[in-house]
Amino acid sequence: MKKDLRIIKTQESLRHALLSLLKSKPLEAITVAELCRAANINRGTFYLHYKNVHEVFKHYFEVIVEDLRESYKEPYYKTNFHIENIEANMIKIFHHVKKYQGFYQIIFDERIPMMYFYLLFDTVRLFMKESIVEQDLEAEQDINLDYFISYQTNAILGMLIEWHRQGYHTTIQELNQQLLTILSINSPSLKV
């Protein structure tokens, strides 16, 4: 079933306005009236779709998370879960970040409350947990799964933060190759 174009445009307008407002104030300080003014819609239209500003953020975050999940999993699908066969052009996480760059600029901004970062961290951590084969870790000595997953999550988020700090100037192809090279340091069977 196709979504009404007016609904899509309203949601896009609200998301763009929310991103713009989040650059200068926390989510809790944004009012429905302020968001509606910035989105150039009336409050009645707003309340047809959302109860409050938090719902707009939640809906947008869910859209981003679903796209992030697909981007993260794509190399696993393309290698039939034989990740040692990954190639640089199979990595899609940087494409995802570029697509939603406005959102990530807010999440990674040092002036923005950490709660947004932790929301992203917990989401990525869940992807990591879903993709890890626990039996492989059991063969390793004394690796606590929670610490391992947090380490892996921080590694990918660290690359994204560095890309943000460098103004997103590095090309996606270069980042894919860098990630593959970094992964191959501890995985000799990985092709670079």
What average pLDDT does the segment 105-122 reach?
Answer: 87
**How far, in Å, CA of 106 to CA of 161, rounded?**
11
Question: Would you state the pLDDT for residue 184?
Answer: 81
Q: Give the pLDDT confidence of 154-174 residue by residue, as tens digits.
A: 999 999 999 999 999 999 999
C-alpha to C-alpha distance for 60 and 37, rounded to whole angstroms: 19
Predicted confidence band at 7 (pLDDT cuts at 50, 70, 90)?
confident
Question: Under 8 Å CB-to-CB from 3, ≥6 apart: which residues?
Answer: none
Q: Under a CB-based contact definition with an 8 Å cutoff, are residues 17 and 45 in contact?
A: no
pTM: 0.83
Q: Which residue has the tokens 């007016």?
A: 6
High-pLDDT (> 70) share of the chain, %: 91
Q: List the Cα angle 80/121/93 in 5-degree steps.
A: 40
Contacts of 98 (CB under 8 A, 6+ apart): 168, 172
Residue 128 confidence (pLDDT): 86
CB atoms within 10 A of CB 140: 8
Compute the distance between CA of residue 112 and CA of residue 187 in angstroms, rounded to an integer. 36
